[in-house]
Structure 1
């Protein structure tokens, strides 16, 4: 077990139970306005797109079933909880707006932000070169390794994806994780390729692991640790960095909203400098995934100018 996995181990039972409850909330929306101050009155407010100034809101989309980043509680599936919602409230205060949320299945997310269904995606979007140069502008807020979730009885001897050659591994549908898994399989499992099954979200994938219809589920380390801590029959195995490098998770903003991207960068940097960012990460058992103020730049992989492809 690596030091990073040990730090993620702090994520516990409550987060994993919240992921199960979130399945009933798909398609719903939420307004976190009751947690936030009145709109306007900040320097960054004047830099926002006119539509956001007029509405006094910024709308975010995510699938509410990936704790500790975002999920719901069993007692209230109508509002998201976790790292992203808490950060959104704090960002809203810096921007002088309220945050609203839309619960969106992964396949609908990137088309949704491009078409204006929401202003930004905040939860499941990994920062990639392709996305920065063609689809969205990315603002990194979280950095994580990847991990396999598999039955505890099958975990002995499994230390990397190469130990799973010939098995069936689940991954989020249409995600960069699928491409990474294919690449590792081609490089390390040529004679017995990994079979890949794509899932809409973690809840169904974890059920598939437990039923035996897939051998493992590949997702972010924090989420896998939460699931394993909640169920003694499951185990989390962190994927070594020589197979899949740590990835940034980012706030994804449509290329047609460069003012919003720039404002989010400045707001997030302000939260880090004030210490509030670290407090939010600690409160959500995610300190291991925190990034530095110098890492908060738009499109960090390619340095593509905001709003350009």
Structure 2
């Protein structure tokens, strides 16, 4: 859930390959996930420390437990969601499983609302947060991007993907929306706590009198899409991979369409407490190992996210 406060378009490139790849993943159907239940990743990617090349980089207590608890909003297909059987699937779980092979641990996904994930990380409920979360300075510093006030300790990020923010509308009913400035006088549905919500608040301040931008924030993106589908909103804003997946799969591709260009290209990162520097560095080493091996690229291609590939994982690369 992406990006910064000053919008800019991403580099021009074809997105047809992305949507086509997402169609392969589209055979998996997502279900609602508003609870706080645990979902253990039991994929074949999990392995023991004995056979893991980077296990010795982990803190001893995590290595001994063999589990890293992950806070995630598991309702953001194709990044993380539940399939028909209730299993947690998607881009993030697959990357986590690949990291698990390098580190000799299992990543256990624990479902929560997006705007509460960093609070859960600070309280010790999770060791990391991995949920299409944008690495930016406000999150690194624990600052509310709207007020500029300090609200937490801040976190470190292990970056692993680049993604931008998109707008989408009902198919054939765009309300003449092609840019963010066209939202003045309209209703926009977003997921609470995301950069999409931050961007909407910034845009609302620019609207002229008599053309108010009404923002409706929901606990997850599925609820925002339901609002749009029913006619209660004119558009939804979400990360491009999520928007493209929704356009391809919802109603068999008949519900939505993307309008305009992506904005705010920025890195996704795995959030880690600033105190857990050894865990942070171990995750970065594992990420760079799967990038080098080619496993990372295969995962991105599976979920239609190859346009966002990074050549190297860095710490706190967000601006």
1:18 partnered with 2:29: yes
Structure 1 residue runs of 5 or longer lacking an equivalent are: 303-309
Q: Deviations over 1:65-85 (max 9, x none)?
A: 1111111112x11x2101111
Q: Does the C-alpha gap of structure 1 residues 165 and 104 become closer, same or farther in structure 2, counting only changes over 3 Å?
A: same
Equivalenced residues, count: 291
How far does residue 24 in structure 1 lie from its aligned partner after superposition?
4.5
Match of 1:56 among 66, 85, 90: 66
Q: CA deviation at 1:221?
A: 1.1
> Per the alignment, do residues 156 and 84 of structure 1 end up closer, same or farther by CA in structure 2, a change over 3 Å counting?
same
Of the candidates 248, 252, 273, which is equivalent to residue 229 of structure 1? 248
Secondary structure of residue in 1 paired with 2:185: coil
Q: Determine the C-alpha separation between the residues in 1 that align with 2:227 and 2:95.
A: 31
- TM-score between both structures, scaled by the size of structure 1: 0.87
1:142 to 148, 153, 161: 161
Residues 47-86 of structure 1 aligned to structure 2 (within 5 Å):
47-74=57-84, 76-77=85-86, 79-86=87-94
2: CA distance between counterparts of 1:130 and 1:16? 36
Closer/same/farther in 2, CA of residues 227 and 262 from structure 1, 3 Å limit: same
Listed one character per residue, the Cα deviations across residues 180-235 of structure 1 (whole Å, up to 9, x for unaligned) are 22223334x23323111111111111110011111111001111111112231321
Matched, 1:102 2:105: no
**SS of match in other structure, 2:132:** strand
Q: What pairs up with 1:199-218 in 2 under 5 angstroms?
A: 199-218=218-237
Q: Could you say which structure has the higher helix fraction? A: 1
Query: Partner of 1:306 in structure 2?
Result: none
Match of 1:37?
47
- Output one character per residue of 1:254-286: Cα deviation in whole Å (capped at 9) or x when no partner: 122111111111110111111111011112221
Structure 1 outlier segments of 4+, above 6 Å: none
Unaligned runs of 5+ in 2: 1-11, 143-153
Cα displacement (A) at 1:16 = 8.2
Secondary structure, aligned partner of 1:228: helix
**1:240: Cα distance to partner?**
4.5
Question: What displacement does 1:176 show?
Answer: 2.5
Name the structure 2 match of 1:305: none
> 8 Å contact 2:184–2:204 — kept in the other structure?
yes
Measured in 2, the distance between the counterparts of 1:168 and 1:157 equals 13
Deviation at 1:111, TM superposition (A): 0.7
Distance verdict in 2 for CA 1:73–1:209, change over 3 Å: same
Counterpart of 2:127 in structure 1 is: 119
In structure 2, what is the Cα distance between the partners aligned to 1:173 and 1:156?
Answer: 23
Task: Describe the shift of the 1:156–1:172 C-alpha distance in structure 2 as closer, same or farther (beyond 3 A).
Answer: closer
Alignment partner of 1:246 is 2:265: yes
Q: Secondary structure at the match of 1:153?
A: coil
Distance between the aligned counterparts of 1:211 and 1:16, measured in 2? 24
Residues 137 and 254, structure 1, Cα contact 8 Å, conserved in 2: yes
